[in-house]
A and B are shown apart, each in its own frame.
Chain A
Amino acid sequence: MDQPPHVPFKDALGKLWSTFLPLLMERVSTLQAATDASTQGEVSGEQMAAAKAAAHNLAGTLGTFGLKNGTDLAREAEQMLSADSGIEFDGERLRQISACIRTMVQNHDFSEEGLSQ
């Protein structure tokens, strides 16, 4: 029986997910590390900038791999880390966000889910 046309593409996309999973986890770790440091009052400007960049990258990527909720959370994190967004920095919320994104990324299974959530 022929596979539906999108199945081979989904398989290829799944392989890319596996390839880039370490990079995505690294971005989550960057976000988490800066958040943890900020709640202890020990975060540097460079760490915060890296966290903002990581959140921006995650926001632009996760939805493409089917994790729209991850994109939404990463966007919220990015705005909280942006001085000009008008959104107040909330360390506890950022910790929740980064933990949630980590769980989503770790548990994302291409074989079971569609390309968009």
Chain B
Amino acid sequence: MEEVEIMSHRILIIDDEDDIREVAALSLESIGGWKVDTASSGSQGLARAAAYKPDAILLDVMMPGMDGPSTFRELRKNPHTAKIPVLLLTAKVQSSDQERFAQLGAEAVLSKPFDPLTLSSQIAEILGWN
């Protein structure tokens, strides 16, 4: 009998906070059934994105060194990562911050704290994944 390989979505999570990164990874793997790679900084995220070529990137806004917006701009400059959809993740709730992040051109801006039970369905809906 022919085996059919079910392709799972691949997500790269870029966040400097260990707890957020691990909870998001657990959520997307366990609830979403997706394959997850992680990076703890913007520069590490750029390298992982180019090597891992994920289907989407979940990118924290506030990170030391290269922050989320800077990382996003670098992703867009690299032809290997330019077309990967990026969802920004932020704990900033001021509408001015949210608007500023939305204008960067990311697919969406997601708020922290996120609900780990619904994070994957939220992302799937935004990206049009079944």
Residues of A within 8 A of B (CB): 6, 8-9, 12-13, 16, 19-20, 23-24, 56-57, 59-65, 68, 71, 75, 115-116
Contact = CB atoms under 8 A, between A and B. Distances in A.
B68 to A, nearest CB: 13
Interface string B12-23: 000001111011
A13 B20 contact: no
Contacts, number: 62
A75 B112 contact: no
Size bracket of the B interface: 20 to 34
- Main SS class of interface, B: loop
Interface in B9-33: 17-20, 22-23, 26-27, 30-31
Most chain B CB within a 10 A radius of its CB, from A20, A56, A60: A60
- Main SS class of interface, A: helix
Given A20-B19, A56-B62, A56-B91, A64 B113 contact: yes
